């Protein structure tokens, strides 16, 4: 079984548009959305949820005010400034480390589990899907990504799927690291802007750091052809394969508004044709 | 006044709004809190005057004092320590630097050392001050670097914070303490879906906010309908123009070539000031 992750560094370069199209093209794959704090893939693939799991990400300190002597030791020792003026706990700041529970002289602080989100297993017209939703403002997105990927693996083994396609989140921090560890190919989707170039180089470094084979796709390549040339040259110099260049076309937004993968909405469009080429390239590399 | 610029969905134009607003009002501090993929400097071309390492604390075990009781590993919520009968293994990337292991160790065998996870850069462009952070490749935790960037906020200044996309911890850390948050979105189903999640976060945190609709003429009208229904002010609409996209692609803030937008950003800033009451 092989694993492919679509990542980008910079947000809004077209990860989900591509992933949804790959879902249409793939014959025997499990689909996963690992952008757990702002998941969008479900709006194109319309999954029907068959199983929901609670996700307990981090813990939260709770102070029992009836026993609290207001000595202030918890506030002094908390490195996250999570204890408020009147000895409450700020849930947005508390990292659930438990330091306050051990320094409290009257043992009035406990750590409680909090539900930080939900993981789902669903059916779509294109295959099974593993996805999740982190509760707004929660931390530990990396842990939830790991849970989604475990779910995808179990599904793939059970159903004898030969590929897992992972839609990643922007950035290069914990959820992205959790989305690329142990995969076979990372497709970096970039755009020919200064930010796109800067962020794509960092995404490539991340893949190198974790020994993952990179592929590059330049989206909206005709917005700035000079910059596209720069990206092509950079890839050539660094021995990175460019899987394709997708033109800018407003039809991509129309497909999204209609809730459909571009490959279904406008299969004859220049965008769809190029995505098919990218997909063939990915398959040849995966084999 | 501290204004943060955020959005659930990536690539909606946060950095563009942050930079163009800062240039329009002038004499501001611009802090790029997207330490995973900082981009402000690519538009602002600042002179960097100072570069500093960003460290976090991680435990060090003195094996001569340690009796391998395992209390540190039991305590650690992040599984950053593993204690075998012969040795203590430390996984520094998992450590949140809470300092708890050193507190619970009965043999006082644990001390802390500094570990570098990123870089902080300070500079200026014209009358703007720029601070930004860069998370080291392979490091999972952005929050300590964001904290370091925010430590340079100067009281009494107009401060603009550019956030990373999403709704999880880096975004919370960035917007915390802001007087106002500008949510940049685009009028598409993805834009709307991620806007709703971010609105929930800001309501929970009690931070006042408004919306900027970027590429306002693509997609549909559902973002507008949603803002109407929820009484969320739409502060500015920026149309999709190939010129704006091309200027951005070259690393040029669009107000420099389209000066008619300067006043719009100044009016926007004054409107925010009124909403905040400062």
The domain locations on chain A are: 2-55+120-286, 65-107
Name which of A59, A137, A175 is nearest B77 (Cβ-Cβ).
A59
Interchain contact, B166 vs A253, CB within 8 Å = no
**DSSP 3-state assignment of B98?**
coil
pLDDT tens digit sequence for A237-274: 999 999 999 999 999 999 999 999 999 999 999 999 99
A139: confidence class by pLDDT, cuts 50, 70, 90: confident
Q: Write the pLDDT tens digit of every residue in B86-127.
A: 999 999 999 999 999 999 999 999 999 999 999 999 999 999
**Rounded Cα gap, residues A27 and B276, in angstroms:** 54
- On average, the pLDDT of chain A sits at 96
Q: 3-state class of A35 per DSSP?
A: coil
For residue B77, the chain A residues in CB contact (below 8 A) are 58-59, 96-98, 111
Q: Is the pLDDT of residue B184 over 80?
A: yes
What is the per-residue DSSP string for B176-217? TT-SEEEEEE-SSHHHHHHHHHHHHHHHHHT--EEEEEESTT
Collect all residues of chain A within an 8 Å Cβ-Cβ radius of residue B188.
Answer: 253, 256-257
User: Is residue B219 within 8 Å of B240, Cβ to Cβ?
Assistant: no
The helix (run of H) or strand (run of E) holding residue A173 is: none
B34 contact residues in A (CB cutoff 8 A):
171
Chain A, 79 to 98: residues with Cβ < 8 Å from chain B are 79-80, 92-93, 95-98
Second CATH level (architecture) for the domain B2-54+118-276: 3-Layer(aba) Sandwich (3.40)
- Is B75 at the interface with chain A, CB within 8 A? yes
Q: Within the 199-258 window of chain A, which residues sit less than 8 Å (CB to CB) from chain B?
A: 199, 202, 205-206, 209-210, 223-224, 227, 250, 253, 256-257
Residue position matching structure tokens 């914070």: B161
Which pLDDT score is estimated for A140? 82
Between the CA atoms of B195, B197, B198 and B199, what dihedral angle is there, to the nearest 10 degrees?
A: 80
Residue B54: is its pLDDT beyond 90? yes
Confidence (pTM):
0.95
CB contact under 8 A, B39 and A10: yes
Query: Are residues A223 and B220, on separate chains, in Cβ contact within 8 Å?
Result: no
Per-residue model confidence (pLDDT) at position B15: 97
User: Where residue B278 falls among pLDDT bands split at 50, 70, 90?
Assistant: confident
Of all residues in chain B, what percent carry a pLDDT higher than 90?
Answer: 99
Q: Which of A66, A149, A38 is nearest to B193 (CA)?
A: A38
Contact A99 B176 (CB under 8 A): no
Q: Are A95 and A154 within 8 A, CB to CB?
A: no
Q: What is the pLDDT of residue B120?
A: 98
- Token look-up 């993981």 returns A119
d(CA B179, CA B191) in angstroms, rounded, equals 24
| Cα pseudo-dihedral A254, A260, A264, A266, rounded to 10 | 0
Write the DSSP assignment of A99-124 as a string of letters. HHHHH-TT--EEEEEEEEEEEEEEEE
Classify B238 as helix, strand or coil: strand
Using DSSP, how many helices (H) and how many strands (E) does chain A show?
A: 11, 9
Q: Write down the domain spans for chain B.
A: 2-54+118-276, 63-108
Q: What is the pLDDT of residues A52-75, one digit of tens each?
A: 999 998 899 999 999 999 999 999
- Which pLDDT score, from 0 to 100, does residue A136 have? 87
Give B118's strand partners. B54, B135
B residues 131-160 lying closer than 8 A (beta carbon) to A: 135, 137-142
Between chains, do B190 and A259 touch, taking CB under 8 Å as contact? Answer: no
Provide the token pair at A252: 């991509």
Average pLDDT for A90-114: 95
| Residues A49, A86: Cα–Cα separation, whole Å | 43
A144: Cα within 13 Å, side-chain hemisphere: 32
Domain A65-107 = CATH 3.30.70.20: yes
Instruction: Please compute the mean of the pLDDT values over residues B56-71 and round it to a whole number.
Output: 96
Distances (CA, A) of B60 to A6, A98, A182, B240: 37, 19, 29, 54
Residues of chain B above pLDDT 70, percent: 100
CA dihedral (B177, A135, B142, B254) positive or negative: negative
DSSP summary character for residue B259? T
* Tens digits of residue pLDDT in A86-95: 999 999 999 9
B137, B184, B216, B221: best mutation site toward chain A, by most A Cβ within 10 Å?
Answer: B137
Pick the CATH number of A2-55+120-286 from 3.40.640.10, 3.40.190.10, 3.40.50.300, 3.60.110.10: 3.40.50.300
C-beta atoms of A205 and B190 within 8 A? no
Q: Given an 8 Å threshold on Cβ–Cβ distance, is B37 in contact with A13? A: no
Enumerate the β-bridge partners of residue B246: none
Strand blocks (E) in A125-248: 127-134, 163-167, 185-190, 213-219, 241-246
CB-based contact A174 B96, cutoff 8 Å: no
CB contacts of B166 in chain A (<8 Å) are 35, 37-38, 141, 169-171
State in words which class domain B63-108 has. Answer: alpha beta
């Amino acid at each position: 079984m092989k694993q492919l992750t679509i990542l980008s560094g910079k947000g809004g370069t077209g990860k989900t548009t591509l992933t949804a199209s790959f879902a249409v093209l793939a014959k025997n794959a499990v689909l996963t959305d690992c952008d757990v704090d702002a998941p969008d893939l479900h709006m194109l693939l319309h999954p029907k949820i068959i199983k929901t799991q609670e996700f307990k990400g981090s813990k939260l300190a709770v102070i029992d005010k009836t026993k609290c002597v207001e000595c202030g030791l918890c506030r002094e020792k908390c490195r996250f400034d999570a204890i408020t003026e009147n000895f409450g706990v700020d849930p947005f700041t508390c990292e659930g480390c438990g330091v306050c529970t051990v320094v409290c002289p009257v043992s009035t602080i406990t750590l409680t589990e909090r539900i930080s989100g939900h993981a789902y297993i669903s059916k779509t017209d294109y295959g099974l899907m593993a996805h999740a939703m982190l509760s707004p403002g929660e931390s530990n997105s990396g842990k939830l990504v790991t849970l989604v990927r475990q779910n995808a693996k179990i599904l793939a083994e059970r159903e004898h799927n030969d590929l897992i396609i992972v839609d990643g989140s922007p950035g290069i921090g914990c959820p992205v690291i959790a989305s690329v560890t142990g995969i076979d190919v990372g497709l970096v989707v970039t755009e020919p802007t200064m930010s796109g170039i800067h962020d794509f180089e960092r995404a490539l470094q991340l893949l190198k750091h974790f020994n993952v084979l990179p592929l590059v796709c330049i989206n909206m390549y005709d917005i700035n052809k000079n910059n596209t040339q720069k990206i092509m040259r950079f890839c050539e110099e660094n021995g990175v394969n460019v899987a394709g260049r997708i033109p800018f076309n407003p039809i991509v937004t129309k497909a999204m508004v209609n809730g459909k993968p571009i490959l279904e909405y406008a299969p004859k469009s220049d965008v769809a044709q190029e995505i098919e080429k990218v997909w063939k390239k990915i398959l040849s590399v995966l084999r | 006044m501290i204004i943060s610029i955020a959005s659930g969905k990536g690539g909606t134009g946060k950095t563009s709004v942050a930079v163009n607003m800062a240039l329009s009002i002038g004499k501001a501090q611009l802090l790029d809190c997207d330490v995973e993929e900082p981009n402000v400097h690519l538009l602002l071309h600042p002179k960097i005057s100072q570069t500093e390492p960003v460290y976090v604390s991680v435990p060090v075990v003195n094996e001569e004092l340690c009796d391998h009781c395992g209390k540190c590993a039991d305590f650690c919520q992040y599984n950053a320590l593993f204690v075998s009968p012969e040795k203590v293994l430390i996984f520094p990337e998992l450590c949140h630097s809470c300092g708890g292991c050193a507190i619970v160790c009965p043999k006082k065998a644990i001390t802390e050392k500094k570990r570098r996870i990123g870089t902080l850069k300070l500079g200026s462009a014209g009358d703007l001050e720029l601070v930004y952070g860069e998370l080291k490749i392979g490091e999972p935790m952005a929050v300590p670097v964001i904290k370091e960037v925010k430590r340079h906020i100067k009281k009494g200044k107009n401060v603009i914070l550019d956030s990373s996309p999403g709704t999880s911890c880096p975004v919370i850390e960035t917007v915390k303490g802001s007087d106002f948050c500008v949510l940049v979105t685009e009028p598409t189903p993805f834009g709307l879906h991620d806007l709703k999640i971010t609105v929930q976060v800001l309501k929970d945190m009690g931070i006042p906010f408004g919306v900027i609709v970027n590429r306002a003429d693509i997609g549909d009208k559902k973002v507008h309908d949603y803002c109407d229904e929820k009484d969320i002010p739409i502060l500015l609409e920026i149309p999709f123009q190939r010129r704006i996209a091309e200027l951005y692609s070259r690393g040029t803030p669009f107000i420099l070539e389209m000066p008619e937008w300067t006043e719009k950003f100044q009016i926007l800033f004054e409107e925010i000031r009124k909403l905040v009451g400062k």
